[in-house]
């Protein structure tokens, strides 16, 4: 019996060692840092995102899908271009009732949870980093995480933050399209976002900054183990938030803002913002849509680079690719620029730059390079990747995007490292609950 007991103990210890090894392995996968397959809950005219279509009667999809569902479940199963997806439950812009806001978000979270339960061969929901690592190393399933876009009426106390942590929410994009109780929202050039956020000041000097409640919300969320996404904040609110985060040791996360030297508008981070985010152990993620990454009054240096490119189709994969490479180069070479928060050589090792598709988040995606909607009418016979003649019409084409970029010599390592960084960051928040 003693010998048998020792054998059992040895087997158990070996199993523990193997599990520890699996969980300790670095994650090197593509993670979409926010996608919206539950848009039909706050906006009923969207088709239900997480539903399967009949493979024999596939829908006719286009990259111009601003008000049409493209988040079919068929595209997410076994998608080599997207192993982990953060589902952002979307809040109403003008919601003024805390109970209604809570119900709206819970309905979306529960919809996703039930979908995964009903389709366990392909999908699973993870509520913490350990679960993510376990599912990555022991299954082939697409892993779903929860986030919330728009914190309006949701975070009024520490108890509120703890409630969302209990639902497995990893981060909250505190401010969305309108100024709210937390601070000011950024307004993109053009009429639409101005109409949505009519009360916002047109002058930067008069922008609303982070409110006292906004400051408290960031701290409450951190103390519950939830990250705050500073995306969509106007310039003043974002800078105020970064100061609060630095003072309290809260790593910042920006999931889908642009880069001001290329996109000179309020929905973009300036160079000091970027450096402050990385200096304080956070990271940034870029919108993957070529539409979102189009240059807007770029610095002369970058406009000259664009003009010199032999192949550049604005609004296509090229706009994302160019933005990504500019940001990557900036992070790698910033010290000679003399910024106050320049990164050290050690800090530049293994940095990451995430991506966020925002599928069904009120926008179209990358146009094709070739064909009637592209910049070049005739498609060369050597072109084999569908994203080049279809554009980024649905999530199933993300692998095609990575294939094109890799074939053109783009270093994808910082993108794939973002999954590991995200999990480490989330774990840091969980390990330090109540200490911020």
Structural domains of the chain, ranges and CATH numbers in brackets: 29-53+63-431 (3.20.20.140)
154: pLDDT strictly greater than 70: yes
Q: pTM (2 decimals)?
A: 0.91
Mean pLDDT on 177-181? 95
The neighbour count for residue 19, using CB atoms within 10 Å, is 13
Query: SS in 3 state form for 42-89?
Result: CCCCCCCCCCCCCHHHCCCCCCCCCCCCCCCHHHCCCCCCCCEEEEEE
Please check the confidence at residue 352 and state whether its pLDDT lies above 50.
Answer: yes
pLDDT exceeds 50 at position 29 = yes
- The confidence band for 400, taking pLDDT boundaries of 50, 70 and 90, is very high
Structure tokens given for 385: 């990747």
Min mean pLDDT across 66-80, 198-212, 258-272 is at: 198-212
Q: For residue 202, give both structure tokens.
A: 């047109």
| Structure confidence by residue, pLDDT tens digits, 113-122 | 999 999 999 9
Say yes or no to pLDDT of 337 above 60.
no
Q: Has residue 7 got a pLDDT over 50?
A: no
CB 146 within 8 A of CB 169: yes
Give me the chain's average pLDDT, please.
91
The whole-number pLDDT of residue 17 equals: 39
Structure confidence at residue 2 (pLDDT): 47
Q: pLDDT band at 23, cuts 50/70/90?
A: very low
Q: How many CB atoms lie within 10 A of CB 290?
A: 29
Confidence band of 15 (pLDDT split at 50, 70, 90): very low
pLDDT tens sequence across 60-88: 999 999 988 999 999 999 999 999 999 99
Q: What mean pLDDT comes out for the span 108-130?
A: 98
Measured in degrees and rounded to the nearest 5, phi and psi for residue 292 equal: -75, -25
Check whether 338 has a pLDDT greater than 70: no
Q: Is the pLDDT of residue 26 over 70?
A: yes
Among the listed ranges 263-277, 299-313, 326-340, which one has the minimum average pLDDT value? 326-340
Percent of the chain, pLDDT > 90? 80
Does the pLDDT of residue 353 top 50, yes or no? yes
Sorted by sequence, the CB contacts under 8 Å of residue 262 that are 6+ apart come out as 268, 293, 295, 296, 298, 299, 302, 322, 323, 326
Chain segment 185-197, per-residue pLDDT in tens:
998 887 777 777 8
**Three-class DSSP category at 320:** helix
Burial class (CB in 10 A: 0-12, 13-18, 19+), 390: buried
Q: Which residue has the higher pLDDT, 211 or 345?
A: 211
Q: Does 381 have pLDDT greater than 90?
A: no
Residue 203, pLDDT score: 63
Indicate the SS3 state at residue 18: helix
Using 50, 70 and 90 to split pLDDT, how confident is the model at 132?
A: very high
Is the pLDDT assigned to residue 333 strictly greater than 90?
no
In 3D space, the residue among 221, 339, 214, 224 whose CA is nearest the CA of residue 270 turns out to be 339
**Is pLDDT larger for residue 42 or for residue 4?**
42
Q: Which of 20-34, 73-87, 147-161, 398-412 has the lowest mean pLDDT?
A: 20-34
192-206, 314-328, 406-420: lowest mean pLDDT where? 192-206
pLDDT at 215 exceeding the cut of 90: yes
Which has more confidence, 68 or 253? 253
Number of residues that make up the chain: 436
In this prediction, residue 345 has a pLDDT band, given cuts at 50, 70 and 90, of confident
Structure tokens at 152: 């309006």
- The answer to whether 176 and 188 have CB atoms below 8 angstroms apart is no
């Amino acid at each position: 019996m003693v010998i048998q007991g020792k054998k059992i103990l040895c087997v158990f210890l070996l199993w523990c060692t193997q599990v520890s090894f699996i969980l300790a392995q670095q994650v090197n996968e593509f993670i979409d840092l926010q996608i919206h397959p539950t848009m039909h809950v706050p906006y009923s005219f969207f088709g239900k995102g997480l539903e399967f279509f009949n493979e024999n009667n596939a829908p006719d999809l286009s990259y111009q899908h601003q008000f049409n569902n493209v988040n079919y479940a068929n595209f997410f199963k076994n998608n080599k271009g997207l192993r982990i997806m953060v589902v952002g439950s979307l809040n109403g812009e003008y919601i003024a009732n805390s109970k209604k806001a809570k119900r709206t978000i819970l309905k979306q979270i529960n919809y996703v949870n039930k979908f995964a339960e009903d389709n366990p061969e392909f999908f699973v929901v993870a509520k913490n980093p350990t679960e993510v690592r376990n599912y990555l190393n022991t299954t082939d399933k697409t892993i779903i995480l929860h986030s919330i876009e728009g914190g309006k009426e949701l975070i009024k106390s520490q108890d509120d933050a703890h409630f969302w942590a209990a639902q497995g929410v990893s981060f909250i994009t505190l401010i969305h399209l309108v100024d709210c109780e937390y601070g000011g929202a950024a307004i993109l050039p053009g009429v639409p976002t101005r109409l949505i956020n009519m009360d916002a000041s047109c002058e930067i000097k008069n922008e609303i900054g982070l409110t006292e409640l906004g400051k408290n919300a960031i701290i409450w969320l951190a103390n519950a183990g939830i990250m705050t996404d500073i995306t969509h904040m106007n310039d003043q609110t974002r800078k105020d938030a970064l100061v609060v985060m630095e003072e309290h040791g809260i790593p910042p996360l920006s999931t889908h803002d642009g880069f001001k030297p290329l996109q000179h508008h309020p929905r973009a981070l300036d160079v000091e913002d970027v450096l402050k985010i990385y200096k304080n152990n956070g990271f940034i993620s870029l919108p993957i849509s070529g539409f979102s990454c189009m240059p807007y009054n770029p610095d002369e240096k970058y406009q000259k680079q664009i003009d010199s490119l032999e192949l550049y189709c604005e609004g296509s994969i090229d706009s994302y690719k160019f933005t990504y490479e500019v940001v990557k180069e900036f992070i790698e070479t910033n010290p000679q620029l003399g910024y106050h928060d320049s990164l050290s050589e050690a800090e530049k090792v293994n940095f990451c730059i995430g991506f966020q598709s925002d599928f069904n988040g009120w926008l179209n995606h990358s146009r094709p390079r070739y064909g009637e909607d592209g910049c070049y009418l005739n498609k060369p016979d050597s072109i084999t990747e569908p994203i080049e003649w279809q554009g980024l019409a649905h999530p199933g084409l993300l692998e095609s995007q990575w294939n094109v970029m890799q074939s053109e010599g783009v270093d994808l390592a910082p993108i794939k490292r973002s999954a590991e960084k995200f999990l480490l960051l989330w774990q840091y928040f969980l390990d330090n609950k109540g200490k911020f």
